[in-house]
Structure 1
Amino acid sequence: MKIWLVHHGGEPTPSDKQQMRLRRMGMLAEAAIQRGHEVVWWNSTFLHINKTQRFDTSCTIDYSPQLRLNYLHARPYEKNISLTRIRNHQDLGRNFAKLARQEPKPDVILCSYPVPELCDEAVRYSRETNTPVALDVRDIWPHAMLDMMPASAQPFARVALSPYYRMARRVFRDATSICGITQEFMEWGLAQGRRKKSDSDRVFSFGYQPLDLDSAQQSDASKFWASQGVGVDPSVPVLCFFGLVNHQFDFKPVFEAVQRLQKNKRVQLVICGKGESIEQFRQQMSGNPDILFPGWVNAEQIWELMQLSSYGLAPYVDSPSFRGSIGNKPIEYLAGGLPILCSLSEGPLYRLAETEQCGFAYQGCAKMLETKLAALLASPDSHRALVGNARSVFADRYEASRVYGGMVRHLEDIASCGRSGYSSAVA
């Protein structure tokens, strides 16, 4: 079977030179290949993670006999919320529409949502060729874009974004299958398409494949963290974060809580990554040697940091988009045996941490975070219980082969049923 995976460029591909682990589309491609399928992975020339341009024009790399990488040229952008980024997405849709019709027809398409422009063209192609298409909902655009804007600007922004609201309704109405990383996101997609749930509509969380470092990789990563002063004293608890340090995360309660805890006990906070807020935070915390900003770190260093840490931070801004999501980061923490410190006050991540006792929620409150952490730091047995729960939850729900093997089987099923899916139902 020939599978098209269509994505906007937020993930690394196997041909990238940087040391970055494969994420959802990459692991899904691997799972499909293991089941004997051919994969054409449509991606952007522009890599969102580090804002770099891979190629100056659209191009194709035949990476292996079963994996073809089609890169769609799209202009670069610096700011996540910008007109240039919208134009980047328009580039992707336009170039996909042009180049897709030059490829042999697939048996099934999976397209990640967002971005709407790419999904719109993928669904249009599926209608023209009678090819089943599944949309993989990872965020609630354009609603999430509206939430990022000041309240005073939202009425005007809603008018400006009205074409995207119409686009969302169209693509979810006409898709064969709506998948979501959570139940909430799948239901949001169904609501946009004004359709009832059918057997074609499923939830597939993010999955993660734990790293198995060889002795040289482990040694190099350990030396790196020792050079940063992390893990040198095993009695010092470490809180870690890795990702884009930007407006999507609220670190103020974290800094306040950690600084209060440090008055009575040494605690290290390690924030890895780049982003628009990192230099500001470096300056603010420059007098605190136990709040560290090591910058971008590779996959091996991330894995080793999790082995040295006690907790993983998920300090999301409290917005509808994050309240409905369980992103890559918390699942990665669980894979490393790290209890999750969740900033949210409701939603699936909040329920996961609290109900499964694999972390706790502090609801954006510095005092709550300080109080709960202080109690856990004084109770090693309680921490060990959270670690055990984190590992069990990961093995049961989020291990990559379990998640993406199921996702490939779902694509096989909808391919066999055709574009109408198992049983389409429009409300």
Structure 2
Amino acid sequence: MSDKKKVMIIAHFCDYGQENSNNRFNYLASFLADHGFEVELVTSSFSHRDKMQRIEEKNERRTYRTTLIFEPSYHKNISLKRLFISHHKIAQNLRKYLRQCDCPDILYCAIPSINLSEVASEYAAKHNIPFVIDVQDLWPEAYRLILKNESLYRLATGMMKRRIERVYGSADQIVAVSQTYAQRAKSVNTKCDNPIVVYLGTERFFYDNDVSNYASKYTKPDDEFWVGYCGTLGHSYDLTIVIEAMKLLADRGARNIRLMVIGSGPLEEKYKQKAAEMGIAYTFTGKLPYGQMCKQLSQCDIAVNPIAKGAAQSIINKHADYAIAGLPVINTQECEEYRNLLKYYNCGINCDAGSVEQVAKAIDSFVNDKKLTVVMSQNARKMGAEKFERSKTYGEILKGVQEILGLK
């Protein structure tokens, strides 16, 4: 019998098998296993990103074990079926699984979803084992973009708020992807004195390897200036202001500026149509494998982070990708934590959310000032090394797990 401490990670949304989206919890599972823990990663049978059921792999070659819990399929991210059928059913199935599995020494749970974190919280309390939460996003706050009427928002999400606050309050340790999220969980928790903030991050070694080894799907002409965006084309992002800003610059005589959009999502066709109507130069690559995305991103001159006004996001995946790629960022995100990072490292330009004129001015600044682009690119790489390299930052999570188990 192994004398290793057993860690169970419950993460509703992560990778499995050959999937590779640079997910936090797959990396963390490997990281903890490499540091002497026996790790089981429990996740969904349904790929939220690909919208398809996963095929179980009998010989998955990883240093940790993965368990798939059946979740009914859904087609839309924002739907009653997802919240009230799929999430409800996977929570039921997780509860059944936990009744018959060996009890771990510590339970580490990603938030969201609310349903799975509730089951995890109950299980940890029942078995008197440490419960760690890792806050990736704020639910129900994320729904403000859809439910814009404040009264309707409060009515529709009041129960969700009470449920997630019970989970926040039950945690023995809080981990979060930003100080903003950590403070939200800590506001209703009296057990955790010092939340651990570790940005999502990425791995520079693999980024550099991908850039070196992948062939570029789209070749950048020497005379073009590329404005890059990577990620989901969903309701939290406002690519329209970037398109309109580029149209404004074209009307003022700017030439050879191309919008390079790497990713897909429910608003992809809307943005394609908008770009065509505006007559700007654009390329939509669709969703690319992570390594191919890195290669394409590396060819861009700058990046845009056009988060919609009122969005709840704080520090997200694309922040790490842009920083590791050494890309200066034009940012409309209202989150002060990220705006302050860009200001502190001098690696981007903050604009007001929804301001086409400010975004156009920022793009024009980079196009016409090569020195500015070079300096901010160097600064972005420095920020990436200090704040987003997982090999350096995830040690804080390891330390937290060791301390709560009395290993330090």
Considering the TM-score relative to the shorter chain, is it more than 0.5?
Answer: yes
Q: C-alpha distance in 2, partners of 1:283/1:372?
A: 24
Kindly indicate whether residue 346 of structure 2 is the aligned counterpart of residue 357 of structure 1.
Answer: yes
Q: C-alpha distance in 2, partners of 1:191/1:320?
A: 20
Kindly indicate whether residue 253 of structure 2 is the aligned counterpart of residue 250 of structure 1.
Answer: no
Where structure 2 has 5 or more consecutive residues not aligned to the other structure, the ranges are none
1:155 deviates by 2.5
Q: Kindly tell me: are residues 381 and 243 of structure 1, through their superposed partners in 2, closer, same or farther at Cα, counting changes over 3 Å?
A: same
2:316 is aligned with what amino acid?
Answer: G
Q: C-alpha distance in 1, partners of 2:347/2:391?
A: 21
Aligned twin of 2:68? 71
Q: C-alpha distance in 2, partners of 1:122/1:373?
A: 46
2:366 to 356, 364, 376: 376
SS in 1 for 2:60: strand
Q: C-alpha distance in 2, partners of 1:371/1:353?
A: 17
Aligned twin of 1:8? 12
SS in 1 for 2:394: helix
2:193 to 193, 198, 220: 198
Q: C-alpha distance in 2, partners of 1:61/1:191?
A: 43
CA contact (8 A) 2:215 2:295 kept: yes
Aligned twin of 2:264? 274
1:150 deviates by 2.8
Q: 1:240-288: CA deviations, max 9, x gaps?
A: 1122111110112100111222332211101122211111222232364
1:81 to 71, 78, 82: 78
Q: 1:378-423: CA deviations, max 9, x gaps?
A: 1111111101110011111110111222212211111228xxxx9x
CA contact (8 A) 1:168 1:192 kept: no
CA contact (8 A) 1:257 1:366 kept: yes
Kindly indicate whether residue 132 of structure 2 is the aligned counterpart of residue 139 of structure 1.
Answer: no
TM-score normalised to the size of structure 2?
A: 0.91
Q: 1:66-120: CA deviations, max 9, x gaps?
A: 4111111111222222111112221222111110222211111111111111111
CA contact (8 A) 2:30 2:62 kept: no
Aligned twin of 1:221? 215
Q: C-alpha distance in 2, partners of 1:257/1:123?
A: 47
Q: 1:106-155: CA deviations, max 9, x gaps?
A: 1111111111111111011101111101111111111222442131xx42
CA contact (8 A) 1:334 1:393 kept: yes
CA contact (8 A) 1:114 1:137 kept: yes
2:405 to 411, 415, 419: 415
Where structure 1 has 5 or more consecutive residues not aligned to the other structure, the ranges are 423-427
Kindly indicate whether residue 69 of structure 2 is the aligned counterpart of residue 97 of structure 1.
Answer: no
CA contact (8 A) 1:60 1:68 kept: no
Q: Kindly tell me: are residues 356 and 238 of structure 1, through their superposed partners in 2, closer, same or farther at Cα, counting changes over 3 Å?
A: same
Q: C-alpha distance in 2, partners of 1:25/1:144?
A: 21
Aligned twin of 1:33? 33
CA contact (8 A) 1:74 1:89 kept: yes
Q: Kindly tell me: are residues 65 and 373 of structure 1, through their superposed partners in 2, closer, same or farther at Cα, counting changes over 3 Å?
A: closer
Q: Kindly tell me: are residues 62 and 168 of structure 1, through their superposed partners in 2, closer, same or farther at Cα, counting changes over 3 Å?
A: farther
Aligned twin of 2:23? 23
CA contact (8 A) 1:345 1:361 kept: no
Please show how residues 43-58 of structure 1 align to structure 2 within 5 Å: 43-55=43-55
Q: C-alpha distance in 1, partners of 2:44/2:390?
A: 24
Q: C-alpha distance in 1, partners of 2:319/2:70?
A: 32
Q: 1:223-249: CA deviations, max 9, x gaps?
A: x213xxxx1x23321111122111110
1:242 is aligned with what amino acid?
Answer: C
1:355 deviates by 2.5
**Alignment: residue pair count:** 398
Q: Kindly tell me: are residues 252 and 141 of structure 1, through their superposed partners in 2, closer, same or farther at Cα, counting changes over 3 Å?
A: same
Aligned twin of 1:184? 180
1:289 deviates by 6.4
1:343 is aligned with what amino acid?
Answer: T
Aligned twin of 1:292? 283
Aligned twin of 2:158? 162
- Higher mean Cα deviation, 325-334 or 290-299? 290-299
Q: C-alpha distance in 2, partners of 1:102/1:22?
A: 31
CA contact (8 A) 1:109 1:132 kept: yes
TM-score normalised to the size of structure 1?
A: 0.87
CA contact (8 A) 2:30 2:63 kept: no
Q: Kindly tell me: are residues 212 and 335 of structure 1, through their superposed partners in 2, closer, same or farther at Cα, counting changes over 3 Å?
A: closer
1:305 to 292, 296, 312: 296
Kindly indicate whether residue 382 of structure 2 is the aligned counterpart of residue 392 of structure 1.
Answer: yes
Q: CA RMSD in A?
A: 2.2
The structure, 1 or 2, with the larger RCO (C-alpha pairs under 8 Å, 6+ apart) is: 1
CA contact (8 A) 1:307 1:336 kept: yes
